[in-house]
């Protein structure tokens, strides 16, 4: 039975970073003060310490922190020498950064569809996308697989396709760091994994941040050089064209404190997701986690009939409950990306999800009585009886 109940119209946060701040505030403040008192704001000791702790957390041999999740993706592509005329396949149902980095380097993003239950890359559409790239005379060299909303994609199906075609695989784990796939933690799949520490991510800092994970030592060495302007032996010995992609020391200090409780927060997210599923699966299409995998539940996303979504969101908003739509327009429908290739017969699942998906408040500090209020509002908005 649901518990009753907070004041009905007190507005709720979509992601309650304030609750986490109340838990960690003193520790983070002390960590920041240590950096400020030393004054080593760029590449201070916390940066190397964070990279070591992230490696220990997920088991990756090499971790390279960087300025943001977009740079993390770009650094891998740059290290692989991606060039114009090459094709890289990626899902259309994702944030722009996934395709943006491909276009930066003059390569061609080829958009593929996703699966309706997991929101992640569809292996059949990947094969169709590869056929399209070859038909257009492009040179497919790799794919960026996005682990959307917190769970890993179906790598058991995707990796053999990539291997058969000689393609490298970059995992976009901006939303899934901390999850597992068939006993492997995210960060140990494919050529490399890129993640984001944007504040709203499951592991987020107080600004922008990112990291690359790989078990390839040579690739890691090139990325470390690219991250600091293509540096060689010293800052005036630039051996390749790079970028200014460093993570600053203050953000590393924040992430170190957050990483210490990240495991507990993942467990709390699992409880929140399980409670949503128990009370909403009878009235809405709730997310499904692939067998043998775990999710860190970056988002908890329902699927509703398109004609009901706007009214549903408005009903919850009147009760002080925020919702969010990820993603209202797939990349292949956006102006900047509309000219890039898509396979036949199109990308129908992503088109459907853009009209159907709506996300509920999700964070590790969502108390049961507050979640009850959300569940009641959802059930009411969908015309269902209370539990």
Helix (H) or strand (E) holding 126: helix 123-135
pTM for the structure as a whole: 0.95
With cut-offs at 50, 70 and 90, classify the pLDDT of residue 337.
very high
- Residue 22 CB-half CA count within 13 A: 5
Q: Which of 190, 206, 230 is nearest to 75 (CA)?
A: 230
- To the question of domain 22-260 being in CATH 1.10.3860.10, the answer is no
DSSP 3-state of 196: strand
pLDDT score for 235 = 86
What is the pLDDT averaged over residues 244-252? Answer: 98
Say whether pLDDT at 1 is over 50.
no
Residue range 265-283: average pLDDT? 98
The pLDDT value recorded for residue 2 is: 55
CA-nearest of 48, 38, 29 to 247 is 48
What value does the mean pLDDT of the chain take?
Answer: 96
Average confidence (pLDDT) over 63-77 = 98
Average pLDDT over residues 107-135: 98
pLDDT at residue 143 is higher than 70: yes
Eight-state DSSP code of residue 132: H
Backbone angles phi, psi at 169, to 5 degrees: -125, 125
Q: pLDDT at residue 116 above 60?
A: yes
Q: Quick one: average pLDDT of 166-183?
A: 98
Average pLDDT over residues 82-103: 97
Unique residue bearing structure tokens 């697989």? 145
Residue 291 DSSP class:
T
pLDDT at 243: 97
Provide the CATH topology of domain 262-381.
3.90.1150
pLDDT band at 387 (very low <50, low <70, confident <90, very high): low
The predicted model gives 40-69 an average pLDDT of 98
Residue 385 has pLDDT above 80, yes or no: no
pLDDT digits (tens, 9 = 90+) for 185-230: 999 999 999 999 999 999 999 999 999 999 999 999 999 999 999 9
Q: In angstroms, rounded to a whole number, what is the distance separating the alpha carbons of residues 294 and 151?
A: 6
Indicate if the pLDDT at residue 386 is higher than 90.
Answer: no
pLDDT at 8 over 70: no
Q: Output the pLDDT for position 345.
A: 86
Residues 300-316: tens digit of each pLDDT? 999 999 999 999 999 99
Cβ within 8 Å of residue 352, ≥6 positions away: 116
Asked whether the predicted pLDDT for residue 7 surpasses 60, the reply is no
Domain edges within the chain:
22-260, 262-381
Rg from Cα positions in the chain: 21
- CA–CA distance from 156 to each of 11, 122, 159, 160, 184 (Å)? 42, 12, 6, 7, 12
121: tokens are 């890359």
pLDDT at 10: 84
């Amino acid at each position: 039975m649901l518990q009753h109940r907070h004041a009905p119209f007190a507005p709720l946060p979509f992601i309650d970073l304030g609750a986490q701040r109340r838990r960690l505030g003193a520790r983070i403040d002390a960590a920041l003060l240590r950096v400020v008192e030393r004054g080593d704001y760029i590449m201070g000791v916390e940066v190397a310490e964070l990279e070591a702790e992230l490696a220990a957390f997920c088991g990756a041999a090499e971790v390279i922190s960087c300025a943001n999740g977009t740079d993390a993706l770009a650094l891998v592509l740059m290290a692989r020498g991606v060039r114009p005329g090459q094709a890289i396949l990626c899902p259309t149902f994702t944030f722009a950064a996934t395709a943006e980095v491909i276009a930066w380097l003059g390569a061609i993003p080829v958009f593929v569809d996703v699966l309706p239950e997991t929101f992640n890359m569809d292996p059949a559409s990947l094969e169709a996308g590869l056929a399209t790239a070859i038909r257009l005379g492009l040179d497919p060299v790799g794919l960026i697989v996005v682990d959307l909303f917190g769970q890993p994609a179906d790598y058991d199906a995707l990796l053999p396709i990539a291997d058969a075609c000689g393609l490298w695989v970059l995992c976009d784990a901006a939303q899934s760091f901390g999850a597992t796939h068939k006993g492997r933690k995210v960060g140990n799949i494919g050529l490399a994994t890129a993640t984001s520490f944007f504040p709203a991510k499951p592991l987020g800092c107080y600004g922008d941040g990112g990291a690359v994970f790989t078990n390839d030592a040579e690739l890691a060495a090139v990325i470390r050089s690219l991250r600091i302007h293509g540096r060689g032996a010293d800052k005036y010995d630039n051996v390749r064209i790079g970028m200014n992609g460093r993570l600053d020391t203050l953000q590393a200090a924040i992430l170190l404190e957050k990483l210490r409780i990240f495991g507990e927060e993942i467990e709390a997210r699992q409880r929140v997701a399980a409670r949503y599923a128990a009370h909403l699966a009878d009235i809405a299409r709730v997310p499904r986690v692939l067998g043998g995998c775990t999710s860190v539940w970056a988002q908890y996303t329902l699927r509703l009939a398109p004609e009901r979504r706007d009214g549903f969101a408005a009903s919850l908003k009147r009760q002080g409950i925020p919702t969010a739509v990820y993603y209202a327009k797939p990349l292949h429908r956006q102006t900047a990306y509309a000219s890039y290739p898509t396979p036949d017969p199109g990308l129908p699942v992503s088109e459907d999800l853009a009209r159907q998906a709506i996300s509920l408040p999700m964070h590790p500090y969502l108390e049961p009585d507050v979640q009850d209020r959300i569940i009641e509002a959802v059930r009411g908005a969908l015309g269902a009886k209370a539990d």
